[in-house]
Every structure is written in structure tokens, then in C-alpha cells.
Amino acid sequence: MVGVEELSSETLPVWLAPHTRTPIDGVITVPGSKSITNRAFILAALADGPSAIVGALRSRDTNLMLAALKSIGVGVRDQGSEIHIEPRPLRGGTINCGLAGTVMRFVPPVAAIATGTVFFDGDPQARTRPMSTMLDALRELGIQVQGDALPFIIDGVGTPTGGTVDIDASGSSQFVSGLLLAGARFSNGITVRHTGGNLPSMPHIEMTIAMLAEAGVTVDTSRANEWTVPAGPISGRTWRIEPDLSNATPFLAAAAVTGGTARIRHWPQRTTQPGDAIRGILERMGCTVDITAVGPSYDLVVTGPAGGVYGEHGLKGISIDLSDVGELTPTVAALAALANTESRLTGITHLRGHETDRLAALTREINNIGGQCTELADGLRISPVPREQLHGGLWHSYADHRMATAGAIIGLAVPGIEVEDIATTTKTLPDFANMWTKLVAHG
């Protein structure tokens, strides 16, 4: 995790964010969901038979997940449009987590099922990301673990006993999901009890539970903040991956900023993805939002207020609890920095432990270009400033893909925004810069 006072001294490439006063008008096809893809990979690796993943996201995070599973013995056959996964006995290996939270938190319980020693490491920034909750949980379940953060070592035992474990998952819902995904392969199953404060990103836990159900595993959720996965089979199946709705949000924000229209293809009518919440957020900020049937599927169509942020009415600020949808914070904060009334984004303390401390990073970068952002105990207060007060400058990405896309959004309205290391978006959306440039050029 890159701290805001620990910026690398290395010279990273900068990307001049496209600027426009013309309304954008584009049709965007967003690749598959990272969250669903990586959960499908885990369940396929642990299943009783082969699985096929159709429409999987191809990005750094998903490539790291596949490589991690292959390194401990899982069979992977990439056929382009489909990825076929063959479960095999798991063995020791070496895993590079990169900066992927799903790899560093979902794979350790799988490693406990391996026979042998599994070594984990990742990017330098990843070594400060919270991991002790997961590693202490595995210790409580009888697994030998060396270390409390990356790098760490897990000595797999083949078939762990499992049982009940108490954890404080207030730092990340991924700790719960990681244990649940592998729970059916522990001889006594797993019961996870959350004992801490507010549990963030509940929709991601609900996504995990729904995908387990699709694989034939029923999770008992009858008690608050407690989940029980019984020991039992996990079915191999064909997984069809939805578009990544969170990765779609910058393109929708472009419509809001410019007063244009963005159409996202194949928007699901029903989904467990938290990114779906962007529809209501954009409506509250002054956009028109419609879902339109196109053949057998649906498009999400967002049109910004006339004139966008330069129009008579502009964008409205928003006061909102983002605890369930914290991943949308950088997009919403970028819009709030351009809005004409104050915004308060709360319930997002856990973002301090993401790829970077996103609250501190957003505050620093918005203020550095003339905005007014104040860090709160659990979020951000972003106040409007005269449009001419905002100015160009270097927007640090902190090796965080969502910080990079936030800079691109602001650059639409503020000329001269130079986003550091736009290539960090390859974490979840490898073609972002090209897609963004084409969208603005075709406005």
C-alpha cells in the first residue's frame, strides 16, 4: 500500500488526460467482472469436476489468480473465449499476489488444503495491506502460518479440520469471502463469526454466497454476522461472467461531467455486483438513467445534465453512506470535486487499507489541483470551489487503478491533468486508456 507521504522517487510515465467541452456520446462494452471471475476461478479449482469460465476478465488481477492456482497444481487450459479448469490434488508452491486483494485473501484458505508449503509474496505496496485477520483465522483453525503480512508461508495439511472462527472483518469483507469459498473442503466445514464493528462491502459477501449456491453449496446465514458452510461437494459447472459494473462507472461519469450520453452494453437486470449502485448515485447528482432492452440483453444509458459541469445547473453534490459500495468512492469523489454543492461520503474507513489509503490519497490529489476536500474519520467532505480555481497538474495514482481513473474523470473538465502511471489500470481494465481516449474523441 502506497502512503501519501511515501510516493516513489522513481520517475513514472504520465498521461495527459483528455479534456473536452463537447458532450461525449459513446457505446461501451466493458469486460467481465473481476470479483466474479476470481471467485469462479477459486470455486472451479475446488470443485469435484471440470469447469468452464466464459467471458472471464483478462487483467493483471485475474492473471495473478490463475497463475496462483496453477502454481499449486490446478489444471488450467486457456481457449481464448473460455478458460477450462481441472481440479487436481493441491501441492506446495510459490504465489505472487501482486497488489490483488482477492489473491492475497482468497488463496490462503485454498493453500491450507494443499499438501506442502505455499509461499506468498507480492508487490512492495502489498506488504502493508491488512492480512493478519485472515492469517490469524487460519491459525485458529489449526493451520501453521509464518508471518502476519506479505510475505508469509502456509503449511498445507491436505484436509484441514475446520470449525468455528471469530474474526474482525471490519477491514475487508474479503476475509469472510475467502474463508467461505474454501469452507466446504474443510472436513468439518467452517463457521465464520464477525465480531468487529461495521462490516463493509456486504454485497461482496452476498455475491460469494450466491456463487456458492450456484456451485451446490448452501451457506447458513440465519444468525446475524455469522455464516456456516458445511463440508460437502462443490459442483463443477459453466460460469458466465457479467460485465464489471464498477469498471463501467468512469465511463458513466464521463457522461455526467460533459453532459453527454454513455451506453453500457449488457447491463444485468439482476446482479450481486455493488457497482450497480452507481445508477441511483448518478440520478441523485442530476443525471438521467435508463435501462433499455436491446435484443435479449439490456443497456444502461446515462445522460448528464445539459452542459455537464459547465451547464446552468451542473452536477449536484451528494451525501451518502458508501459502506456497501466503497469501490465506487474514487469515481463519486471525482464527480463531487466538480459538483456545485457540498458532498459527504461516509462509511468508508476501510478504504484506508486498499491499494493505497484512498481517503488520504483523494484528499491530497483533489486539493493539489485547487479543490477543497477534507478527510473525515470515516470518509470525505468535498466542498464546491469556483470552476476557475481548479487547475492542471500531476495526479498521483499510488499504484491504484481507481485513483488513476478518478484523475481521468477530473481531467475531462480541468485541462492539464497529468495522470501518473495510467498503466496501473491494467489491474482490472487493461485497455482503459485507449477506451477513454476513443470515447472523448468521438464526443
Q: Which residues are catalytic?
A: 327
| Model confidence pLDDT, tens digit, residues 366-387 | 999 999 999 999 999 999 999 8
The confidence band for 12, taking pLDDT boundaries of 50, 70 and 90, is confident
- Confidence (pLDDT) at 2: 44
C-alpha grid cell, residue 368: 493539489
Please, what is the Cα angle at 118 between 114 and 124, to 5 degrees? 145
Q: What is the C-alpha to C-alpha distance for residues 135 and 119, in angstroms, rounded to an integer?
A: 13
The confidence band for 175, taking pLDDT boundaries of 50, 70 and 90, is very high
| Model confidence pLDDT, tens digit, residues 190-228 | 999 999 988 888 999 999 999 999 999 999 999 999 999
| Model confidence pLDDT, tens digit, residues 127-153 | 998 999 999 999 999 999 999 999 999
Least confident of 52-56, 78-82, 219-223, 288-292: 78-82
142 sits in the region (left: phi over 0; alpha: psi -120 to 50; else beta) called left
Give binding residues as ranges.
Answer: 34-35, 39, 101, 129, 172-174, 201, 327, 354, 358, 402, 427
- Confidence (pLDDT) at 106: 98
- Confidence (pLDDT) at 443: 65
- Confidence (pLDDT) at 1: 46
Q: What is the C-alpha to C-alpha distance for residues 443 and 438, in angstroms, rounded to an integer?
A: 9
For residues 70 and 44, the answer to whether their CB atoms sit within 8 Å is: no
Task: Give the chain's largest Cα–Cα span.
Answer: 65
Q: What is the mean pLDDT of the chain?
A: 95
- Other C-beta atoms lying within 10 Å of the C-beta of residue 49: 12
| Model confidence pLDDT, tens digit, residues 408-419 | 999 999 999 999
Distances from the Cα of 12 to the Cαs of 3, 149, 292, in angstroms? Answer: 16, 27, 42
- Confidence (pLDDT) at 10: 56
- Confidence (pLDDT) at 81: 86
Whether residue 179 has pLDDT greater than 50: yes
Instruction: List, in order of start, the domains of the chain with CATH numbers.
Output: 14-31+243-442 (3.65.10.10), 34-240 (3.65.10.10)
Q: Which of 104, 98, 10 is nearest to 400 (CA)?
A: 98
Give binding residues for 3-phosphoshikimate as ranges.
Answer: 34-35, 39, 172-174, 201, 327, 354
Dihedral, 412, 413, 418, 423 alpha carbons, nearest 10: -30
Sheet holding 380-383, edge to edge: 319-321, 343-346, 380-383, 372-375
- Confidence (pLDDT) at 6: 44
Q: Which of 243, 202, 176, 218 is nearest to 36 (CA)?
A: 243
Counting residues of the chain whose pLDDT is more than 90, the rounded percentage is 92
- Other C-beta atoms lying within 10 Å of the C-beta of residue 423: 17
Give binding residues for phosphoenolpyruvate as ranges.
Answer: 34, 101, 129, 174, 358, 402, 427
